[in-house]
Amino acid sequence: MLKSESIWVEYGNNLITGIRTLVVYVWVIMATVVLGMVAICLSLVSPTSDPVHLVARFWARSILFVSGISVEVRGISEIDPDRSYIYMSNHLSNFDIPVLLARLPVQFRWLAKAELFRIPLFGRAMRGAGYISIDRFNRKSAFASIEKAASRIQQGVSVMIFPEGTRSRDGCLQSFKKGGFVLAVDSKVPVVPLVIKGTQTIMRKGGRLIYPNPVVLQICRPIETTGYSRGTKEKLMARVRHVIRDQYAVNANGGDPC
């Protein structure tokens, strides 16, 4: 191919990517406004937050569809849909949230950073769904949120956590925050490690363009927490991190999350 032809091909690809990204952004805004209002209304009349989570799942599936993203889920047989768990996933991209909401076939609630709850409409919908806010910059407030989450779990609710706390910029698995593991040992329910592979090339942290890419969501075997305490939570943390790291390498066909 001539150099001039390759330049035009690259220009055409960039144009298509830009148009696709614009369509996704417009759809996300529209879907968030419309379905956010539906979620808020449901939260006012429903005795549980389960219907609101189903609306959130539809929101997530619509985003994946418009973005042209396919997700392969592996290991569904590892979990009992009628049992409570603390799900812990690696975090690579903004698209991790739609992937988990759309393709993890169970009800769960997010333990999410307080900043997300300040987003107009979106934050109100999150509260309506029963998601739990955690202030990473206020230790006292953070532990109060963990106690609230532990109480919800003991009532039969599963919780989703990104133990890294924020997205990875380079795809490397970052160090884990302790809060989720305090929650795990206090609530005495199993931790289910989750491994997402592929979202880091869809939308990188700090990036704006969206590139369709197949994603793998691996559900790992639950890890019982009854043998751990607050004094030994670091051992649980190391065990969960080891599982996620190893499974990431397997699903990356030999890759390594650093």
Rounded mean pLDDT, 61-69: 96
DSSP β-bridge partners for residue 196: 217
Rounded mean pLDDT, 202-231: 90
Intra-chain end-to-end CA distance of the chain, in Å = 37
Res 103 pLDDT > 90: yes
- Classified as helix, coil or strand, 86 is strand
pLDDT at 205: 67
Q: Which fold has domain 3-251?
A: Glycerol-3-phosphate (1)-acyltransferase (3.40.1130)
pTM of the model: 0.86
Res 204 pLDDT > 50: yes
pLDDT at 234: 95
How far CA 79 is from CA of 82, 112, 163, 176, 246, in Å, comes to 9, 22, 20, 23, 19
- C-alpha–C-alpha distance, residues 146 and 182, integer Å: 8
Instruction: Please give the helix or strand (H or E) that residue 97 lies within, else none.
Output: helix 96-103
pLDDT tens sequence across 75-92: 999 999 889 999 999 999
Evaluate whether 163 touches 196 at the Cβ level (below 8 Å). Answer: no
Res 99 pLDDT > 90: yes
Rounded mean pLDDT, 176-195: 92
- C-alpha–C-alpha distance, residues 85 and 157, integer Å: 8
Confidence of residue 9 (pLDDT cuts 50, 70, 90): very low
- C-alpha–C-alpha distance, residues 25 and 133, integer Å: 25
